[in-house]
Copies of this chain bind each other. A is one copy, B any other.
Amino acid sequence: MYSESDHRPIVQKYGGTSVGNVDRIKHIAKRVSEQVEQGYQKIAIVVSAMSGETNRLVGLVGDINPKAPAKHYDLAVSAGEQVSVALMASALEAEGVSARGFTAYQLGIVTDEYHSQARIQEIDCRKLFDVWERGEIPVIAGFQGITRQGEITTLGRGGSDTSAVALAVALDAAFCEINTDVDGVFTADPRVVPNARLNLEMDFEVALEMASLGSKVLHARCVELGAKYRMPIVVRNTFKENDSDRTKIMSFNDQQRLEAPVVSGVTLARDVVRMTVDCMPPDQRLVSGLFENIAEAGVNVDIIVHNRSDRRDAMRLGFSIGRSDLGKTLEILDAWKGGVSAEPMIDHEEGLAKVSVVGLGMQSHPGVASRCFAVLSERDINIHMISTSEIKISCVISEGQADLAAQALHEAFLDE
């Protein structure tokens, strides 16, 4: 698969389970050395910390000081990727491939100063071309960066994927390969829907929706970055030889969009909570003020439903959040309520899940939504909230019926 892009670099990212032990690291080094032997020289490898290592380091800092500043967490945690870099470089040398390790500061992966959730601002790639010129393979620490003041940062969840895609963009790479412990992006979670199939090609937009809606293979952030710069992302299984079983995420052209399947996947997000604020005065400023407070607290609000209350001249507002944000959200609502004269009623419902149908072809098939509702109602699955966009339909349902709903929707739209 490398022949057509011989002149452009390739970035290969290996995640925590892929570098989880000595044998796995050796396996990867063997693969890379074979590619180098096949004549492909401009490979850049990005590695995560060995699985479990980041948690061990976070645990150590937490044991010492649960309120340690994020900069100290970042300093501790980034050691994990540094070790992986050294091990991968050593494994490559054992295969006869000269390797050069790079931490974020050694390469120059500059981020902003938001410790533990930093964003990459700039990557200096010149050193990599020098390294390739000398016939060496660079191995780069993912997940970490450095501020312009020289402080170590980390990129937050999905950080190593983001490092890899950002590096691919900076290098104008042919593509960015995300090597992981699954074969790619499936039409549904195979543990829930046994008939789930691998998507061989996906448009960025669909992949982004699936990542946002609960597919755990890729983080939305890295897909977003790929989409922004049209950098193809190949998701593949580190330990499968067969290179055709993988998902390529790319920008579809018009023809491809036309021919895209109506539905590409069914996703499932559990632990959804519905908040309800009833008997609100019909004042739009009250609503926007509330959502500003919620956003400032870092709570991700998903579906919002806003309509008339049963009470005359009043409104009812519903929105969904993740269960981990419930405490924070209740506090905000309580404080907000104090400033509202009409005493709105606040309620919440736990034990919900969100099932979504995603696909580029839905734009031209308006019947998808109604078929979706029909499929769920046939199974006596009650829909609590609905949200639609051009390429997805999300339904909040009871968590107990989540698996059944995903299976039913997959059967209706995706089973062959």
> Residues of A with Cβ closer than 8 Å to B?
22, 25-26, 57, 60-61, 63-65, 67-69, 71-73, 75-76, 78-80, 82-83, 85-87, 89-91, 93-94, 99, 101, 103, 105-106, 150-152
- In the complex, the answer to whether A61 meets B90 with C-beta atoms within 8 Å is yes
For A152, list chain B residues within 8 Å (CB).
103, 106
Instruction: Identify 17 residue pairs between A and B in the complex whose beta-carbon atoms are under 8 Å apart, listed by A's number.
Output: A61-B90, A64-B90, A65-B91, A67-B94, A69-B90, A69-B93, A72-B90, A72-B99, A75-B82, A75-B89, A75-B101, A76-B83, A79-B80, A79-B82, A79-B83, A103-B152, A106-B151
Q: Which 6 A-B pairs have the closest CB atoms?
A: A76-B86, A68-B90, A65-B94, A79-B79, A75-B86, A65-B90
CB A365 to nearest CB in B, in angstroms, measures 52
Which chain B residue lies CB-closest to A86? B76
A25 and B63 CA atoms in complex are apart in Å by 11
State the oligomeric state as a number of copies: 2
CB A5 to nearest CB in B, in angstroms, measures 29
For A87, list chain B residues within 8 Å (CB).
60-61, 64, 72, 76
A22-B86 contact given A94-B67, A150-B106, CB 8 Å threshold: no
Which chain B residue lies CB-closest to A141? B75
For A57, list chain B residues within 8 Å (CB).
83
CB A154 to nearest CB in B, in angstroms, measures 12
Which chain B residue lies CB-closest to A146? B106
For A105, list chain B residues within 8 Å (CB).
105
A204 and B80 CA atoms in complex are apart in Å by 40
A365 and B91 CA atoms in complex are apart in Å by 59
CB A92 to nearest CB in B, in angstroms, measures 9
Which chain B residue lies CB-closest to A107? B150
Which chain B residue lies CB-closest to A29? B64
A410 and B82 CA atoms in complex are apart in Å by 49
A65-B93 contact given A79-B79, A105-B105, CB 8 Å threshold: yes
Which chain B residue lies CB-closest to A106? B150
For A75, list chain B residues within 8 Å (CB).
82, 85-86, 89, 101, 103
For A76, list chain B residues within 8 Å (CB).
82-83, 86-87, 90
For A71, list chain B residues within 8 Å (CB).
101
- Given A22-B64, A68-B93, A79-B86, 15 further pairs, Cβ under 8 A: A61-B86, A64-B87, A64-B94, A67-B93, A72-B86, A72-B89, A72-B93, A72-B99, A73-B86, A73-B90, A75-B89, A76-B87, A79-B82, A82-B82, A106-B152
Which chain B residue lies CB-closest to A149? B106
A26-B64 contact given A75-B86, A82-B75, A87-B76, CB 8 Å threshold: yes
Which chain B residue lies CB-closest to A22? B63
CB A50 to nearest CB in B, in angstroms, measures 9
A75 and B89 CA atoms in complex are apart in Å by 10
Which chain B residue lies CB-closest to A84? B76
A83 and B63 CA atoms in complex are apart in Å by 13
For A106, list chain B residues within 8 Å (CB).
150-152
A152 and B76 CA atoms in complex are apart in Å by 17
A151 and B131 CA atoms in complex are apart in Å by 14
CB A323 to nearest CB in B, in angstroms, measures 29
